[in-house]
């Protein structure tokens, strides 16, 4: 199934990944950032409905020079003490947040439209693909409407979040290691979409559905080859 997912990602298609019953218990829509289109954004906004984020590999994050949001907060605590009180030390499913900064491409208008967000995401992937990470400030501004996530080194070998699963899939597919992920929400009960409904959505829309365990095992084999 993972090989089918990698083929779908290389074809610019969305895949669904459920992390784990013992973690967030959420299914995310995932797509390669380099293939992001306004049509994809519309589908993600309407059919997923969570926070649209752009996971970035540890290597690309380093080259871009972007920090974790918690690093920014710690640096500014002396001036804004409330940031210390807001530190996310009690996340029930994880030890550390992957959140980084938010950006818009400088050629966007408000940055929130499907066209604007798709353009920002696709151009970010282009920047990384072409080894122009040092030009981030030239082409992008912050804050913006695309939330960046920093993957841990080693991806799912170190942290088993959707951020790392997204980048592990990009790496195994041989794609630029920038992705898009968004949690699938339930319109009826206000919670995240349960696994059964997410699997049914995948079947109805001819999309690949993966478990986090499948991604992790495939990645372990990938890095050991």
By annotation, the residues acting in catalysis are 28, 53, 93, 104, 145, 183
Q: Which residues does 72 contact at the CB level (< 8 Å), separation at least 6?
A: 101
In terms of Cα–Cα distance, which of 6, 58, 29 is closest to 180? Answer: 29
* CA distance linking residue 203 with residue 220, whole number of Å: 27
149, 100 in Cβ contact below 8 A?
yes
The residues, ordered by sequence, that sit 6+ positions from 130 with a Cβ below 8 Å of its Cβ are none
103 in Cβ contact with 128 (< 8 Å): no
* Residue 195 and residue 18 in contact, taking contact as beta carbons nearer than 8 Å: yes
Distance between CA 37 and CA 17 in Å, rounded? 20
Q: Helix, strand or coil for residue 153? A: coil
Tokens coding 119: 């353009």
């Amino acid at each position: 199934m993972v090989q089918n997912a990698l083929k779908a990602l290389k074809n610019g298609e969305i895949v669904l990944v459920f992390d784990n019953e013992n973690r967030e218990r959420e299914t995310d829509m995932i797509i390669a950032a380099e293939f992001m289109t306004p049509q994809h954004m519309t589908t993600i906004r309407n059919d997923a409905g969570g926070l649209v984020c752009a996971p970035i590999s540890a290597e690309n994050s380093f080259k871009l020079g972007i920090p974790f949001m918690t690093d920014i907060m710690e640096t500014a605590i002396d001036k804004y003490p409330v940031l210390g009180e807001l530190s996310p030390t009690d996340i029930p499913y994880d030890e550390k947040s992957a959140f980084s900064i938010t950006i818009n491409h400088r050629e966007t208008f408000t940055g929130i439209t499907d066209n604007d967000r798709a353009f920002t995401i696709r151009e970010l992937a282009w920047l990384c693909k072409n080894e122009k990470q040092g030009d981030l400030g030239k082409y992008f501004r912050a804050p913006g409407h695309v939330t960046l996530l920093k993957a841990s080194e080693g991806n799912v070998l170190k942290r088993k979040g959707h951020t790392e699963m997204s980048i592990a899939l990009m790496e195994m597919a041989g794609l630029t290691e920038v992705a898009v992920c968004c949690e699938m929400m339930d319109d009826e009960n206000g919670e995240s979409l349960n696994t059964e409904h997410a699997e049914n959505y995948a079947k109805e829309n001819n999309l690949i559905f993966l478990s986090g365990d499948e991604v992790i095992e495939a990645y372990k084999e990938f890095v050991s080859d």
